[in-house]
Structure 1
Amino acid sequence: MSCDLPAEGTIMNTDYYINRLELSAPLVIAMIQDMSAEQLRWRPGPDAWSALEVLCHLYDEECEDFRVRIDYTLHRPGEALPKIDPQGWVMERHYQDRNPEEVLEAWLTERRRSIEWLRGLNTPAWGLRCSDPHLHDLRAGDFLTAWAGHDLLHLRQLAELQWAYQAFQAAPYFPDYAGDW
């Protein structure tokens, strides 16, 4: 099977990626809706994130990363991108102490704003390259596709947290018969 890459300058199917972003919201809700306050804050290990930390991360990324980077790349060429520190924010912004319902509602509000903003872009030049020297090879379209991919990575992380918590709660029993995780 051949997997040919689209040619440079090919028109991007932005609706596909915007729809993916739109569809991710109810999937995140479904992954966390039955979690107790304890489960939302539970970590499977000292360096692992809790479901609440994942949700807080999604909110901060929505506000400060993808939408901002696309905007700067499309509309502010030459301007330096604002610095971000997703790993540092977990402790610095006290993710574990936040109210899960408030974070979820804030993320959903920002996601709706992002979808409206993306749909309102007038013939964006997705091939424009970012002016940040550390990200100079990334184009606006790369940020959009990464944004949709980012949601999938964290949906996978939430599924892994559900699995790990279920296995933790099942002790001394094991869910191994279900198959390899």
Structure 2
Amino acid sequence: MIPTLLIDLDNTLLGNDMETFLPFYLQKLGAHLADLIPPDQMIPELLNGTRKMMDNLDPTLNLEQAFAGHFYPALGVSEEELRTQIDDFYATVFPSLETITTRFPESEQFMKTIFEAGHEVVIATSPLFPRTAIVQRLEWAGVSVERFDYKLITSYEDFHFSKPRLEYYAEILGRLGKSSQETVMIGNDPENDLEPAKTLGMAVFHVHASSPNEYPGGSLEDAIPWLEEVPKHSHGSSATQPQVLLAHHRGNLAALLSMTKNLNDPIWTRRNDSGEWAPVEIVCHLRDVETEVNLPRVRTILSDLDPHLSSFDTDRWAEERDYICQSGPNALSVFIEERQETISILEQIDPEDWSRPARHSLFGPTTLIEVMNIAAEHDVLHLAQLRSALVE
């Protein structure tokens, strides 16, 4: 059984025609803010801000920040001036939009079945809305957060990429500390839900009355027996594609930033079990591996002809370098800088450079793309470790 399910929301769990929903949403939001900003000024800038979120590829900038960086300056107002009114809109007006959505009766039973089967569930909806807008739509669908313990809900407050970017799905995998082989994507939209997830190596299920042969599909009820069989299907990783590796390196950085956001000193240094690393030790380890292993290897492979790559016993560094006594935020800051440098180099190389050879002291002949795939898998291993370390 594949343990983790990513499930889309709109038109998968809840009938919600966006061509109907969005005009109503914009009209009501515009009217609610009209005493502060004229709707004919506010709505175009909201749409421009939404495009900024959809275009964002900066792992250090979450979608709320990408939106706010355009929206409020374009209107010539501070965020503080509009925040109270916007929050009031989502609390008092947004609930009225339920009337233009349709509850799918099968969604509730589907959710009960998969939770009873022991799956962990991510609501992998477009993160262009604040969390409250997504939580409310889950309630409209009959699958509220009060009834079901979702492991993750993607919203603009703590996600950095949007559908259909590969980075969106890579960030989810990073947050979970999971490989693509351990996850399934279930959704109704081939372009936004299925193709990017499949490109990352996930099994996918098309929720559609007449699913084309390109993807397994059918109703939500049909997904239940399919989930029981999916390990028998081939859904191999596409990690040999440069775009996939870049997505993982961006997504893993974004995941780390969300997971370590607002950690206090006691949590940074807390070890849940004897022998397990604390969050500060994990981040220090990632920092030093990026600084002393990953980035130098990239530079060496790109500059030398078939270079020799030494192996390192990096796990020893935690004790030898006394990571537990170091600053977590400082280590994170250095890791961000080094990972962004790695990404910057990889973004600029020619396609054929990914195949440049090297000789690893343990693995033997290798290539740049294989080395960077190992680095991405190493990230996920320690993101999973961090996820466990943050459980109280």
TM-score by length of 1: 0.76
Q: Deviations over 1:18-50 (max 9, x none)?
A: 122112222112112232211111112231111
C-alpha deviation, 1:2, in angstroms:
3.7
Q: Distance in 2 between matches of 1:25 and 1:4?
A: 24
Q: Deviations over 1:77-106 (max 9, x none)?
A: 354324523111111212111111211111
Name which of structure 1's ranges 119-128 and 46-55 shifts more when overlaid on structure 2: 119-128
Q: Distance in 1 between matches of 2:304 and 2:290?
A: 19
C-alpha deviation, 1:128, in angstroms:
4.1
User: Structure 2 vs 1, CA of residues 132 and 4 (structure 1 numbering), >3 Å: closer, same or farther?
Assistant: closer
SS in 2 for 1:33: coil
Structure having greater relative contact order (Cα 8 Å, sep ≥ 6): 1
How many pairs align?
159
Amino acid at match of 2:245: Y
Name which of structure 1's ranges 63-72 and 154-163 shifts more when overlaid on structure 2: 63-72
User: Structure 2 vs 1, CA of residues 5 and 137 (structure 1 numbering), >3 Å: closer, same or farther?
Assistant: farther
Aligned pair partner of 2:379 in 151, 158, 162:
151
Indicate the structure (1 or 2) with the bigger Cα radius of gyration: 2
Query: Counterpart of 1:118?
Result: 346
Q: How does 1:136-175 map to 2 (within 5 A)?
A: 136-163=364-391, 166=392
Name which of structure 1's ranges 129-138 and 97-106 shifts more when overlaid on structure 2: 129-138
Amino acid at match of 2:316: G
Query: Counterpart of 1:29?
Result: 257
Query: Counterpart of 2:321?
Result: 93
1:45 aligns with 2:273: yes
Query: Counterpart of 1:55?
Result: 283
Q: Distance in 1 between matches of 2:294 and 2:357?
A: 14
Q: Distance in 2 between matches of 1:42 and 1:106?
A: 21
Runs of 4+ in 1 over 4 A off after TM superposition: 3-6
Higher strand residue share: 2
Q: Distance in 1 between matches of 2:315 and 2:272?
A: 17
**Are the equivalent residues in 2 in contact too, given 1:73–1:131 (CA < 8 A)?**
no
Q: Distance in 2 between matches of 1:85 and 1:30?
A: 28
Amino acid at match of 2:295: R
SS in 2 for 1:138: strand
Query: Counterpart of 2:299?
Result: 71
Q: Distance in 2 between matches of 1:133 and 1:86?
A: 15
User: Structure 2 vs 1, CA of residues 145 and 5 (structure 1 numbering), >3 Å: closer, same or farther?
Assistant: closer
1:132 aligns with 2:332: no
Q: Distance in 1 between matches of 2:237 and 2:343?
A: 27
RMSD: 2.3
**Are the equivalent residues in 2 in contact too, given 1:77–1:131 (CA < 8 A)?**
no
**Are the equivalent residues in 1 in contact too, given 2:253–2:336 (CA < 8 A)?**
yes
**Are the equivalent residues in 2 in contact too, given 1:64–1:84 (CA < 8 A)?**
no
Amino acid at match of 1:98: Q
Query: Counterpart of 2:51?
Result: none
Q: Distance in 1 between matches of 2:304 and 2:322?
A: 32
Structure 2's unaligned 5+ residue stretches are 1-232
1:81 aligns with 2:309: yes
Q: Distance in 2 between matches of 1:70 and 1:154?
A: 21
**Are the equivalent residues in 2 in contact too, given 1:24–1:151 (CA < 8 A)?**
yes
Name which of structure 1's ranges 135-144 and 88-97 shifts more when overlaid on structure 2: 135-144
Amino acid at match of 1:75: S
